[in-house]
Amino acid sequence: MKIRRAAAAAVLLAAILALAGCVDKKDNPGTTTERPSVSASGDERDNGEYEAGRDGRVNDTDDENSIVSDMPETNEGTPRVSEGDENARPSDVTDDGIVTGTGGTDTTVTANEAAFASSYIEKMSLNVKKICWGLGKERDSANRPIDAVNAEKKYASLGGKFLANDGRICLTFDEGYENGYTAQILDTLKEKGVKAIFFVTYDYCRTAPELVERMIAEGHVVGNHTWSHPSMPDITQKEVWAEVTKLHEYVHDEFGYDMSLFRFPKGEFSEQTLEDVQHLGYTSLFWSFAYADWDPNAQTDPAETLAKIEDSTHSGIYLLHAVSPTNAKLLAPLIDFWRDKGYTVGAEW
């Protein structure tokens, strides 16, 4: 309902600004909504469209049948109220979250209006600062990394997942490109009766479709690792949405499979990009164990690596890269070790 008195509007506005923590959010470090712009490489068009081709660029289409068409209307990183919330917006709350007054006599503020303003300010305070996910050496009594325990609490409301439930080990592989080891990994998983999660990019799906088909056919989970593997906090909000939705649609169209799990490239994220991914219906799966296995030319000794993973064993999410010959070699004894310790190994967390 409309707020009729300017005094009442001023009081409510002051409360909103207090909740935001500042008079002008642009002057408050940590709440800026500006994102770094894409460098002028020729890929960005004047009309804001992006090509989707073998070079990995995404195309922001206006196809009404595309979920990409639900993207934000600007390239800025400003958090928006989702389209589904528009009907709940009180008529006197503007797109900027400000409650207006018209100088009338009715001073009643409905609960819906107050709740909307509070929710809007909370979304406005999401930080766009890049966070590079990594783990320290400190562990709790259950051998879980303290950093993962804290992140699980901090980012759960934004769809972030960092640990597995007690007694579970969630096995995940990142697939940026195929290096000849995924078939061997799939053979081992089939032999051991274990399911895993494989996070794929567009380039991987395009160049190794038979392996993606096998993952799906053998009951593994295929996750979204973006279209072109960018650092998500470094691109515009429109590009963030496109990186996720273009791959989602491609996998749906090519393989008849709908993905629901997401992994940030290089583990680089922000609170805002977490919320963007969550808005698209995805859970962001991070990890509580990883080691330097992504360089095929710098592989550690399998026995040394196995000992390291065994020493770090806990109920968590394990990240391995399928480009690693070491991982392909140690996977079978590793699964046996975990099972001997009483853990359930699979794609569940």
Concatenated DSSP letters for 286-328?
--SB--S---TTSPPPHHHHHHHHHHT--SEEEEEETT-HHHH
The pLDDT tens digits of the residues spanning 330-346 come to 999 999 999 999 999 99
Is a pLDDT exceeding 70 seen at residue 10? no
* DSSP letter, residue 93: B
Amino acid code (one letter) for 188? T
Contact criterion met (CB below 8 Å) for 242 and 58: yes
| Token pair for 97 | 């979250």
Is a pLDDT exceeding 70 seen at residue 233? yes
Specify the higher pLDDT residue, 295 or 218: 218
Q: What positions carry a catalytic annotation? A: 174, 321
With a CB cutoff of 8 Å and minimum separation 6, the contacts of 166 are 142, 315
Domains and CATH numbers, the chain: 1-34+81-125 (no CATH), 131-346 (3.20.20.370)
Least confident range of 13-22, 108-117, 168-177, 331-340: 13-22
What was the pLDDT predicted at 15? 46
What was the pLDDT predicted at 292? 79
Specify the higher pLDDT residue, 272 or 65: 272
Q: How far apart are CA 55 and CA 319, in angstroms?
A: 27
Q: How many CA atoms lie within 13 A of 23 on its CB side?
A: 1
Report, as an integer, the average pLDDT of 300-308. 84
What was the pLDDT predicted at 301? 82
Pairing of strands 131-132, 268-269: antiparallel
Angle (CA) 238-128-198 rounded to 5° is 65
What was the pLDDT predicted at 108? 56
What was the pLDDT predicted at 110? 66
Q: Provide the β-strand partners of residue 320.
A: 173
Contact criterion met (CB below 8 Å) for 57 and 43: yes
**What is the pTM (predicted TM-score) of this model?**
0.68
Contact criterion met (CB below 8 Å) for 96 and 123: no
Report, as an integer, the average pLDDT of 285-301. 83
What was the pLDDT predicted at 305? 86
Helix and strand numbers, DSSP H then E, in the chain: 10, 10
The pLDDT tens digits of the residues spanning 312-329 come to 999 999 998 888 888 888
Contact criterion met (CB below 8 Å) for 262 and 224: yes
Q: Environment class of residue 320 by beta-carbon count within 10 Å: exposed (0-12), middle (13-18) or buried (19+)?
A: buried
